[in-house]
Every structure is written in structure tokens, then in C-alpha cells.
């Protein structure tokens, strides 16, 4: 079976990192495929949310493939290509215009944590833990990765997390804003499906606009732009608004 399994049942797509024997470590080829998956989903109007998880109970993902990293130490050009694949995939997931949900069991560390932070929402089991260990490896964390962490926990906590490289257990992750909700392991899949269906039941244009505008604010845009105004103005003439207004008047659920 593939190291990445994509299961599409509109309006929900599900991606599984499928290397449980390696704690779902992500190889360079897998990072490239993660970016390619985003490309395939980007303009698919039938998909309203993407759920990503790791196979098994031990890890969402322990990050980069250590064996591959060791091989890259002797080949700097190869190492550069590998690291760019990681950055490209994380940016692709961050920029996917529809909501994304990371469903996290066990270890969520290194590049795996970076991938989870590139998603919009995160559910975690009580035994989940997070770590960003560049300081323990003599590495620097990229600006894009650092900004995602900063946007969630603020500057002081970001510095602490990066300075120490320590593990952050699920309860602390919740208090910091790294995860949205802690869910018992036996209920996690059901909760993820329920949340995904709740989100996917809403208007696709509203979901895309909400994500786009929040991302603009995170990028420092604090005044109305032509793009943000376009989302607002066009929504009032959209088929989704027509259906939503009719449903409201008829006291029924909208059919988006």
C-alpha cells in the first residue's frame, strides 16, 4: 500500500500518512506527494474540507525520515532539495483554500508538527505530544514555520518552545492553542468525522472566504483590500447566499 493514502468522498477528502512501522516518518518523495495532493484538491469544487492523519496509534508523524537525512549529510545538494520539499509541502497545505483538519495521535514532532501547524484545525488524543527540536540538532527553524507557531502561541511562547525543543503534552498544547480540542482515543475518528461534516455542511464560498481573510490578517493585512472586499461583495450575489436565504425563510436546512 502507498505511504500516503488519499480517500475522497465529497465533500470530504482524507489523507493518511501510512508508515506506522516508521512512526509515519515522511520521506522526501512523500513531501513532494503531499504537495501534489494539494494541487489535485485545490480547484476541486466538490471538496470542502481535507482531513489528514497518521496510520496507527503511535504517531501522527515523527517528522523527516532519519535514514534519508543521514544519507543527505554527505550530499549537501541532495539535502537542500529534501529540505525544500518539506517547505514546499507545508506552504501548499497552508495555502490550500479550503479548511484542513489534522487528527493527531501520539508523536507529532519535527516536520510532522510543522505539517500539523500548517493545517487550520487540530484534534489530538490525550497521549499526543508535540516537539520542535531544531535547537537539539543544530538547525534553524524556517521563518514560515516559525510564523505559524508564532501566530498560534505568540512571541514569548514561540521563543521558549524553540529555545528548549522540549515535549509539549496534549493538555499544555490545548492551553497554548496548538490544538483545538483533546478527544479520547476511542472517540477521535468519530469526532473528526462529525466536525468535518459540520464544516462541510456550510457554504463552500463562505469557508474559502473565511480562510482567505483570516490568512490575510495573519499576514499583516489590517485594512480592507480589493481581494477581501471582493469576497464580501460577491457573496451577496452567490448561489450559496440565495440558497441560504431561501432556507432561512423556509425554516429548513440549506442544501449547499
CB 53 within 8 A of CB 104: yes
CATH T-level topology, domain 203-249: Lyase 2-enoyl-coa Hydratase; Chain  A, domain 2 (1.10.12)
Q: CATH for 4-199?
A: 3.90.226.10
Candidate from 70-84, 106-120, 177-191, 235-249 with smallest mean pLDDT: 70-84
pLDDT at 65 over 90: no
Fold agreement (4-199, 203-249): no
* Cβ neighbours of residue 14 closer than 8 Å, sequence gap 6 or more: 6, 7, 8, 50, 51, 52, 53
Q: What value does the mean pLDDT take over residues 77-99?
A: 94
As a whole number, the mean pLDDT across the chain is 95
pLDDT at 72 over 80: no
Boundaries of every domain in the chain: 4-199, 203-249
Tell me the per-residue pLDDT of 115-161, one tens digit each, with 9 for 90 and over. 999 999 999 999 999 999 999 999 999 999 999 999 999 999 999 99
Sign, Cα dihedral of 235, 237, 240, 243 = positive
Amino acid at each position: 500500500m502507498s505511504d500516503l493514502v488519499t480517500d475522497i468522498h465529497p465533500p470530504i477528502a482524507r489523507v493518511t500518512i501510512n508508515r506506522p512501522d516508521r512512526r509515519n516518518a515522511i520521506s522526501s518523495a512523500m513531501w513532494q506527494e503531499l504537495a501534489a495532493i494539494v494541487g489535485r484538491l485545490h480547484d476541486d469544487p466538490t471538496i470542502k474540507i481535507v482531513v489528514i492523519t497518521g496510520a496507527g496509534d503511535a504517531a501522527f508523524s515523527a517528522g523527516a525520515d532519519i535514514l534519508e537525512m543521514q544519507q543527505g549529510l554527505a550530499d549537501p545538494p541532495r539535502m537542500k532539495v529534501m529540505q525544500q520539499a518539506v517547505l514546499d509541502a507545508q506552504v501548499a497545505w497552508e495555502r490550500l483554500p479550503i479548511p484542513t483538519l489534522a487528527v493527531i495521535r501520539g508523536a507529532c514532532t519535527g516536520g510532522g508538527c510543522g505539517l500539523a501547524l500548517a493545517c487550520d484545525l487540530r484534534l489530538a488524543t490525550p497521549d499526543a505530544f508535540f516537539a520542535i527540536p531544531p535547537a537539539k540538532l543544530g538547525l534553524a527553524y524556517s521563518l514560515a514555520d516559525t510564523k505559524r507557531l508564532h501566530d498560534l502561541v505568540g512571541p514569548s511562547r514561540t521563543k521558549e518552545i524553540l529555545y528548549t525543543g522540549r515535549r509539549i503534552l496534549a493538555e499544555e498544547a490545548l492551553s497554548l492553542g496548538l490544538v483545538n480540542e483533546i478527544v479520547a482515543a476511542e472517540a477521535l475518528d468519530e469526532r473528526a468525522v462529525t466536525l468535518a461534516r459540520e464544516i462541510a455542511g456550510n457554504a463552500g464560498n463562505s469557508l474559502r472566504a473565511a480562510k482567505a481573510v483570516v490568512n490575510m490578517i495573519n499576514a499583516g493585512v489590517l485594512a480592507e483590500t480589493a481581494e477581501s472586499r471582493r469576497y464580501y461583495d460577491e457573496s451577496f450575489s452567490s448561489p450559496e447566499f440565495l440558497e441560504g436565504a431561501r432556507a432561512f425563510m423556509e425554516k429548513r436546512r440549506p442544501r449547499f
